[in-house]
Structure 1
């Protein structure tokens, strides 16, 4: 994210006390599954600082619980990079890969499934351990929406019909930004769970929606130059320029204002949580889970995303040009 775009996030910066150990160990999991096999791929992966992102998203975790978050972040970006090339412009090819990965939500994968699918299967298995059937169903629903969003984006590129309306784009981008399963993981990694009846309440739903929107605005600003260089037109900054005829600076300023408005609304929603707990007649343990969801899931995914976007090397020009990356990433999406 450009350093001159300061959003002044009114939430505290946090990081897991175990972050240095996690950063040192972060390549072990992707290497063990064949998701990283060369030194060039490893160097490129480290530039992304995904362990740092996980330590900010899940500052309440350490040890194996933090490792689960680190592995999820590693997987997210390895998967997302698979669609930067021709596959991301072919909806049928995109659907084949996303279906192969999503199959892990329904049971064991065949040995012939691509490495990226086996990586997801491992994360899904570990995240479900100790979680209730309702949490599993909710998280699986969020994952299916995430995968479907990739097909929708590929269809737009294939038909050469970029989104010219921010509202239309947001409907798709809210899925592929991956915030919902990221927030779900905060519960699994932190060993707590929000009761489903409260999770579906208007207040918690609105809080999560704000986290989603703020994240995608951060991401689209940070990735603007990288995406524009490869001909991507589905970026919120570019869409606002087309939709309103605004110069780039005004489009970015508009997004900054949108973030501020959403965060003001978010802080107001937080003050409603005690009343929500009363309405749903939550017991002490359930109230604690709602408080942890506020502090250790939604707040951290907002603030953590902002801090990471400002420090990660993922959006540097050198990242996209790292040697050997694309051929290797294509391999990750191929069947064994």
Structure 2
């Protein structure tokens, strides 16, 4: 994230004490599945430091639980990079690949499944271990929404019709930012589940939407130069400029104000959680799970995203220009074409 664009995040920074070990071992999983097949690809992947991102999203996790988070973050960005080129401008090819990956939610994959799908299948298998059927169904819904969003974005590029208003863009970007599956994994990593009867409550839904919005706005600021270099038109800064005729500076300042307002609302909503427990008559264990969700899932995905964006090399100019250049990116999705 550009150092001259500051966001005040009124939440404490946290990081797993097991980060150093996870960082040293982070390439083992993508290499074992053929998701990284060259030293150039490995070096590029390490510059993103997805182990740091996972250690901030899941500061309560260590060992195999943190490794699962690291592997999910690695997978997210390997998958996302597959759509930086022509595939991301072709709705049919995008749907072929997202369908091949999403098939893992329904059962074993065929032998012809591409590496990126096999990687997701492994993550999904490990994610669901020990979780209830209701939780797995909820998480699967979030994943399907995530995959659907990629098809919507590809359709926009294919038609040459970039989103022309912030509300339209947010509706799609809230899916593809991937925050909801990320927050879901915090429950799995922490071995707890939010009481299902309160998950869709007004307060909890509003908290989660703020977490999603803050993440995508931070990401759009961080990735602006990368997307400008690539000719991408769907970034909140660009959309605000088209929608309102604002300068780049004013658009960035507006996003800073939007993040600040959302976080003020977030803190107010947090103060309502004890009342939510009363309304839904949560028992002591259920209230503890709700508190863990606030502390170890929603808060950390907001603050963790901010801290990682400021340190990661993923959004450096040279990293951006190399996106999609390595042959391994084609290999990851080639058998789904």
2:237/2:252 contact within 8 Å kept: yes
- Once the two structures are TM-superposed, the CA of residue 323 in structure 1 deviates from its matched residue by 9.0
Cross-structure match for 1:48: 48
Instruction: Assess, with a 3 A threshold, how the Cα gap between structure 1 residues 324 and 164 changes in structure 2: closer, same or farther.
Output: closer
Relative distance call for 1:228 and 1:77 in structure 2 (3 A) is same
Give the aligned partner of residue 318 of structure 1. 318
Task: Please name the residue that 1:66 is paired with.
Answer: 66
Any conservation in 2 of the 1:40–1:324 contact (CA below 8 Å)? no
Q: Secondary structure at the match of 1:334?
A: helix
| Cα distance in structure 2, aligned partners of 1:266 and 1:320 | 32
Equivalent pairs counted in the alignment come to 336
- Provide the C-alpha distance between the structure 1 equivalents of 2:278 and 2:305, rounded to a whole number of angstroms: 31
Q: Deviations over 1:211-264 (max 9, x none)?
A: 000000000010011011111000000000000000000000000000000000
Matches within 5 A, 1:44-123: 44-123=44-123
Match of 1:175 in 2: 175
Offset, 1:187: 0.3
Q: Shift in Å at residue 25 of structure 1?
A: 0.3
User: 1:318: how far off?
Assistant: 1.7
* Structure-1 separation of matches of 2:108 and 2:325: 29
Residue 127 of structure 2 contacts residue 185 of structure 2 at CA under 8 Å; is this kept in 1? yes
Comparing 312-321 with 80-89, greater Cα deviation is found at: 312-321
Equivalence for 1:247? 247
What does the per-residue CA deviation read over 1:31-88, in whole Å, with 9 as the maximum and x for residues that have no partner?
A: 0101011100000000001000000000000000000000000000000000000000
Q: Tell me if the contact between 2:105 and 2:140 (Cα under 8 Å) persists in the aligned partners.
A: yes
* C-alpha separation in 1, matches of 2:324 and 2:308: 25
Asked if the contact 1:214–1:259 (Cα under 8 Å) also holds between the matched residues in 2, the reply is yes
Cα distance in 1, alignment partners of residues 93 and 43 from structure 2 = 28
Q: Report the 3-state secondary structure (helix = DSSP H, G, I; strand = E; otherwise coil) of the residue aligned with 2:20.
A: helix
Deviation at 1:321, TM superposition (A): 3.7
TM-score in terms of structure 1 length:
0.99
Unaligned runs of 5+ in 2: none
| TM-score, length basis structure 2 | 0.98
Do the aligned residues in 2 keep the contact of 1:22 with 1:51 (CA within 8 Å)?
A: yes
1:194–1:289 contact (8 Å) kept in structure 2: yes
Distance 2:207 2:87 in 1: 34
- What does residue 297 of structure 2 align with? 297
Provide the residue aligned with 2:137 in structure 1: 137
Runs of 5+ unmatched residues, structure 1: none
SS where residue 4 of structure 1 aligns?
coil
Structure 2 residue matching 1:84: 3-state secondary structure: coil
Distance 2:214 2:324 in 1: 33
Contact 2:47 2:312 in 1 (8 A): yes
Cα pair distance change 1:134/1:324, threshold 3 Å = closer
Q: Distance in 1 between matches of 2:75 and 2:187?
A: 18
Deviation at 1:326, TM superposition (A): 3.3
SS of corresponding position for 1:333: helix
Cα distance per residue 1:182-231 (max 9 Å; x no partner): 00000011101001111110000000000000000000010011011111
The RMSD of aligned alpha carbons is: 1.0
Q: Distance in 1 between matches of 2:193 and 2:132?
A: 8
In structure 2, C-alpha distance between the alignment counterparts of 1:325 and 1:178, rounded to whole Å:
24
Q: 1:244 to 1:321 in 2, by over 3 A?
A: closer
Distance 2:159 2:10 in 1: 41
Task: Report the Cα offset of residue 322 of structure 1.
Answer: 4.1
Change in Cα spacing, 1:323 to 1:228, as seen in structure 2 (3 Å) is closer
